[in-house]
């Protein structure tokens, strides 16, 4: 009889195991004692669909287990059966050990090409029965999701290990763990972030390239060997549930960075850990030319195949587990463009992968985002329907403008006004690239610590080295303000608010770069306070948190909703747009909607890409009666208050690399219409 599940389940005081290995001649369930010194092998039964199952008496909560498969070992026939290798259940919810940093000998034992027994080295699955009713009792906020609108969403990308490894307020035993994040809730709330995007948490395998590279490890975790558990270096599934519960209680969403483009088993002659030893043809892409080599679109010697029944089933099951059972609010997909390739490696916006993730989003309501490109060079920005795409064009344009490049005005206007903003995640920095501090410090990448002769990592970072800390502070404040206030969904890299540095390394996948939490300079403190204020300011003002495209539509007060202005305070003419040496961009935001309702204040935003001189700007007319007042100027300190009222036509001097926001407030009678989030009390000081 065909089994309709995979993994482990309990029924009528029995425990049933099921794993798919259609080409295997025999599969044994291997049960281990708590100390893992004894192993009992139970032959499994095969159903008509290639699933192997075994039923044992009792509810075996906490039982350690794995699988061994018998059959042909012939990579040329896509068969990798080796009875000497213990295999991880792809659907296990807990593993006994992490493989992110293991010895050369352990890696040798795990190779598919030898007959060494891998059980002493390989992770074992641990039986966990996760009942939603019981979980809801233990974690009362787990399923009370914040459901924050995309427009109000502000993402904080965080690496669990690096974030708290040196945090003085976190107990030593919790540092670098999932549990540490829950102990820093007040810090996260102080920054007004309402979605925490966690870099890969699922169990990972040490990168094959790191085998001979001493002092390196698979820090980022983009080499999964299981998609249903938490890597033990961070904790276990219950630690994760506790974190989701605590973040939900505080109105913060949880996003997971998921990797479905390749696994940690690497090439056909590398590690034998799970998928390859069970159903290689069901999980992997194979070269159409020779018929047996793994497709290497990711640069990691293999490619996971979302187009097979087994591959798409695993993806859907994994996402449903984390979204439905664990309460996760959002997923970010690594190299989503690669996942969306069909079996001929042609991008398909309606292929199996895209269908599955959209279906999960429809069923559970989770937000989905990801990288719209493939590591092999495919670039699909604007084509991934239903997926909010990471917008690297936005990143490059903002970087080039701030550092002083010419001919950026038109592109910058496109990105600040949020063209197609509803489908974009705005980024300035992210994990794979220079930190904000390093961008404003170095002139080129410094990846020699990765032992690849500085050949790895992007060469296209548009660095803007600064003359001193004062200039660096202006640039980094401007970078954060522009990215945060541009139309769209902003994402911020954890640590940028503290001037975190990776010593110029823009590809920190193999090194630990923990955030520093002590001995802050006055510039670091200034940068942190500024981030608090700007984030709170965005949450308070819907005119900035809108993800609708900006339009020049005329409102009932006779003024456009969004008006581009030049340094003379006049609506920009075509000659202003065409002048290639123009490094000023300004715009007026009308706080009135199409019904004549004042939904927000009026604002004037101006940005200088000048790198060498101060620019004199004549202020434009306000959309409504009143004067302009400075909200912030990134060239000035947070404590420096500008109390002046500036009339239309008044002069204002904007310094190089700066951004200035001015406001013309609504009459007090409109205050009841103001949309205020309580968290802003610690932020924007009116």
Domains belonging to the chain, first-starting first, are: 151-204+232-262+310-444+456-499+514-544 (3.20.20.80), 552-682 (2.60.40.1180)
Mean pLDDT of 326-347: 96
Mean pLDDT of 543-569: 92
Mean pLDDT of 285-290: 90
Residue 288: pLDDT band (50, 70, 90) is: confident
| pLDDT, tens only, 235-275 | 999 999 999 999 999 999 999 999 999 999 998 899 999 99
State percent of the chain over pLDDT 90. 84
Pairing status of strand 195-198 against strand 155-158: parallel
Beta carbons of 287 and 294 less than 8 angstroms apart:
yes
What confidence score (pLDDT) does residue 179 get? 96
Give CA–CA dist 74/640, Å, rounded.
71
Of 203 and 460, which is predicted with more confidence? 203
Give CA–CA dist 353/341, Å, rounded.
8
Mean pLDDT of 646-667: 95
Beta bridge partners of 554: 560
User: Which residue is listed with tokens 């095969």?
Assistant: 46
What confidence score (pLDDT) does residue 255 get? 98
Q: List helix spans (H) across 131-177.
A: 132-138, 160-164
Give CA–CA dist 446/458, Å, rounded.
11
What confidence score (pLDDT) does residue 671 get? 47
Mean pLDDT of 627-656: 94
What confidence score (pLDDT) does residue 43 get? 98
| pLDDT, tens only, 408-437 | 999 999 999 987 656 789 999 999 999 999
Residue 108 pLDDT more than 90? yes
- What are the φ and ψ backbone dihedral angles of 442, each rounded to 5 degrees? -95, 160
| pLDDT, tens only, 597-635 | 999 999 999 999 999 899 999 999 999 989 999 999 999
Beta carbons of 491 and 552 less than 8 angstroms apart:
no
Give CA–CA dist 10/59, Å, rounded.
6
Mean pLDDT of 364-372: 97
Give CA–CA dist 19/50, Å, rounded.
9
Residue 60 pLDDT more than 60? yes
Beta bridge partners of 651: 618
Residue 685 pLDDT more than 80? no
Q: How far apart are the first and last CA of the chain?
A: 69
Count of positions (residues) in the chain:
686
Give CA–CA dist 545/349, Å, rounded.
28
Residue 94 pLDDT more than 80? yes
Q: What is the mean pLDDT of the chain?
A: 93
| pLDDT, tens only, 116-171 | 999 999 999 999 999 999 999 999 999 999 999 999 999 999 999 999 999 999 99
What confidence score (pLDDT) does residue 532 get? 97
State percent of the chain over pLDDT 70. 95
What confidence score (pLDDT) does residue 641 get? 84
Q: Identify the sign of the CA torsion 219, 223, 225, 228.
A: positive
Give CA–CA dist 258/266, Å, rounded.
17
Beta carbons of 434 and 461 less than 8 angstroms apart:
yes
What confidence score (pLDDT) does residue 418 get? 85
What confidence score (pLDDT) does residue 452 get? 86
What confidence score (pLDDT) does residue 421 get? 55
The region of weakest confidence among 82-86, 288-292, 348-352, 425-429 is 288-292
What confidence score (pLDDT) does residue 64 get? 98
HSE-CB at 482 with a 13 A cutoff on CA atoms is: 34
What confidence score (pLDDT) does residue 551 get? 85
What confidence score (pLDDT) does residue 679 get? 28
What confidence score (pLDDT) does residue 299 get? 81
Residue 686 pLDDT more than 60? no
Cβ-Cβ contacts under 8 Å for 270 (sequence gap 6 or more): 111, 112, 208, 301
What confidence score (pLDDT) does residue 678 get? 31
């Amino acid at each position: 009889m065909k089994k309709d599940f995979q993994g482990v389940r309990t029924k009528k005081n029995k425990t049933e195991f099921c794993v798919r290995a259609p080409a295997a001649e025999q599969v044994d369930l291997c049960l281990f004692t708590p100390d893992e010194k004894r192993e009992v092998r139970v032959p499994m039964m095969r159903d008509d669909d290639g699933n192997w199952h075994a039923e044992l008496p009792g509810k075996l909560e906490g039982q350690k287990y794995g699988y061994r498969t018998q059959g042909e070992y012939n990579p040329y026939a896509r068969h990798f059966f080796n009875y000497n290798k213990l295999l991880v259940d792809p659907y296990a919810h807990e593993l006994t050990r992490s493989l992110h940093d293991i010895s050369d000998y352990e890696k040798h034992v795990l190779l598919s090409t030898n007959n060494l027994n891998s059980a002493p080295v390989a992770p074992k699955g641990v039986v966990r029965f996760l009942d939603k009713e019981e979980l809801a009792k233990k974690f009362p906020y787990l399923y009370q999701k914040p459901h924050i609108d995309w427009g109000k969403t502000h993402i904080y990308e965080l690496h669990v290990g690096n974030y708290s490894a040196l945090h003085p307020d976190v107990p030593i035993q919790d540092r670098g763990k999932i549990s540490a994040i829950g102990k820093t809730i007040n810090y996260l709330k102080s920054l007004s972030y309402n979605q925490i995007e966690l870099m890969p948490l699922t169990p990972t395998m040490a990168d094959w390239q790191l085998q001979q590279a001493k002092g390196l490890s698979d820090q980022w975790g983009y080499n999964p060997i299981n998609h249903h558990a938490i890597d033990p270096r961070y904790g276990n599934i219950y630690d994760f549930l506790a974190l989701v519960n605590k973040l939900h209680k505080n109105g913060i969403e949880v996003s997971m960075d998921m990797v479905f483009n390749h696994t940690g088993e690497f090439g056909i002659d590398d590690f034998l850990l799970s998928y390859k030893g069970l159903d290689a043809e069901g999980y992997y892409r194979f070269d159409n030319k020779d018929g047996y080599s793994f497709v290497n679109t990711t640069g990691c010697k293999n490619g996971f195949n979302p187009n097979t029944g087994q591959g798409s089933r695993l993806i859907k099951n994994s996402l449903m587990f984390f979204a439905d059972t664990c309460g996760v609010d959002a997923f970010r997909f690594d190299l989503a463009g690669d996942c969306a390739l069909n079996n001929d490696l042609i991008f398909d916006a309606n292929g199996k992968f895209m269908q599955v993730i959209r279906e999960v989003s429809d069923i559970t309501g989770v937000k989905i985002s990801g990288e719209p490109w493939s590591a092999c060079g495919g670039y699909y920005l604007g084509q991934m329907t239903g997926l909010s795409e990471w917008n690297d064009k936005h990143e490059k344009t903002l970087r080039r403008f701030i550092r002083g490049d010419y001919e950026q005005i038109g592109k910058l206007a496109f990105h600040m006004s949020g063209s197609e903003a509803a489908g974009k995640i705005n980024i300035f920095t992210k994990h794979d690239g220079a930190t904000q501090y390093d961008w404003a410090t170095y002139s080129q990448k410094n990846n020699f610590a990765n032992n690849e002769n500085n050949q790895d990592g992007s060469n296209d970072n548009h660095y803007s080295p600064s003359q001193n800390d004062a200039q660096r502070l202006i640039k980094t404040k401007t970078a954060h303000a522009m990215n945060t206030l541009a139309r769209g969904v902003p994402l911020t890299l954890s640590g940028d608010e503290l001037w975190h540095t990776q010593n110029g390394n823009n590809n920190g996948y193999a090194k630990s770069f923990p955030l520093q939490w002590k001995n802050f300079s006055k510039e670091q403190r200034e940068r942190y306070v500024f981030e608090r204020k700007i984030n709170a300011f965005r949450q308070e003002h819907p005119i900035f948190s809108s993800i609708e495209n900006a339009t020049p539509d005329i409102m009932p007060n006779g003024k456009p909703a969004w008006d581009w202005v030049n340094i003379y305070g006049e609506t920009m003419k075509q000659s202003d747009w065409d002048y290639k040496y123009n490094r000023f961009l300004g715009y007026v935001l009308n706080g009135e909607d199409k019904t004549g309702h004042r939904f927000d204040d009026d604002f004037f935003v101006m940005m200088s890409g000048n790198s060498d001189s101060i620019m004199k700007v004549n202020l434009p007319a306000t959309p409504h009666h009143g004067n302009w007042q400075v909200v912030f100027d990134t060239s000035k300190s947070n404590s420096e208050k500008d109390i002046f009222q500036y009339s239309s036509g008044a002069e204002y001097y904007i310094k190089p690399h700066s951004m200035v926001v001015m406001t013309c407030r609504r009459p007090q009678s409109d205050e009841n219409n103001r949309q205020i989030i309580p968290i802003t009390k610690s932020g924007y000081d009116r």
